Structure 1
């Protein structure tokens, strides 16, 4: 296996980690507008991810940085061709981060409500657009002989891509609802379980359609295996949620996201960005990669730094592992 193949796998792992962690993060943000009934419950939901949301976004920075260094042509074509959707995601992430920090700066209800609306929309929009972006990467876009994207903005919003956006939106919301039921006590925990069941059924239907479409279009034996794992894990997550086994439900929903990302990357390989104009113009792990020397340096750095980062982030989740409820928010704490 060549180093550019190894880094293709590592980038897939980084995106898997990002969608697993930021997935429930986005889901909780969406649930602040769907599940919470008052200011205290909205604050409770925000507190479930308060200690970890910024650490979750580090996976995105690492995935983007690794793509830039390991596959510069892929990075250049992707970020220039998908400039507007990725810019919208970036603006949402910036506003979302400000919302987490600024919401409690003033006790005024209107001030806090406006930031809560911002948190809802800046969680929902990226949850959709990430699915749209990755669906287009797998399905292929208009890339010419000079490795430039020559399509338009609205070309990115085709039927397959919109279905991909629906899948990530519903999967992340389901993942977030299961996380809330795992992290809270009281009535909101029960409502989160009920919400997870409803959203999970929609996610199962959308994911099955999207993954089967992907398999028919570009799949092989390995991607079919990932498809089976994804669907089975989602069914198991819904069943565990109905049985009140929240830990198992969260683990299975995480496996669903991991298997879905794995299927997309397995369907994509050895391309990194297929061209719909000519197969000869597609970006591959070979023609889009950096030099072997660069990849060797990156491999050594990743081998040293990655275990330390994983240990630190795992320790953070361990410290903040206990359940919380509205009773833990003092009267007038807003």
Structure 2
């Protein structure tokens, strides 16, 4: 491990100033991803800036009826918050589906957004990887890729984003708030993560030297009837091979509003907007749910060993929306 400096920030502007002064600095929240990558040599920061003492650990109602979630709120606190559980149950369920209780007690909301892929080629410094070393190649395309992307990938990278929380946030139009030396800014989550293209090492649209200060969830009445389901290869905690956040408003057998976001199928949480458009205003039936899933997954480009994800996601959509429809009818 490379020797590194350590500074504990006590205010947002101080943290931003430390970032500006050291281009090779990294922000340390819970450290559940960053420290692992430092141990393997994937991350080699010159300075760690500890942000755990920043006053960003609250979950508050916004004036318009939404919620604001501070960047240093732990995953455990987020999942246990009564208002999150009541207004956005799929988000609470997504957080609880991620990692173990011990890790959730340490992991922070801001760090969760910025966690790196768990692709085995990325996490192995001895392997080629365009995300880690631009231009090195992507051996996953011809190698081990059973849990890699089927949507939005490129010939330069087929890794998937590992976050469960991010899938719940994507379904409900979360906005990322940040601070820079030039002032505050924000990005809708739909714009926060960049397409892979030919620069997979550039993962977000945040300005250089930015510090995430929180998330804003706009009011979404449909979110109150929502669920998150995660499929994994073992019953104990593991990263998803496919996941879905779904919310549904059905009136008289017609879909009034629907939200769908896929996980573990792309380099970022994948908002299934095509499926949403197909469903809105149509019948709430298993046949309609399957047709909407097929419309979304028509863009899938599976590799030889991950084509099962197309069927998996189709079945998840039908099962989840059927359950939500039956719940609404009770």
Same fold (TM over 0.5): no
TM-score if structure 1 supplies the norm length?
0.28
- Determine which structure has the larger helix proportion and give its number: 1
TM-score if structure 2 supplies the norm length?
0.28
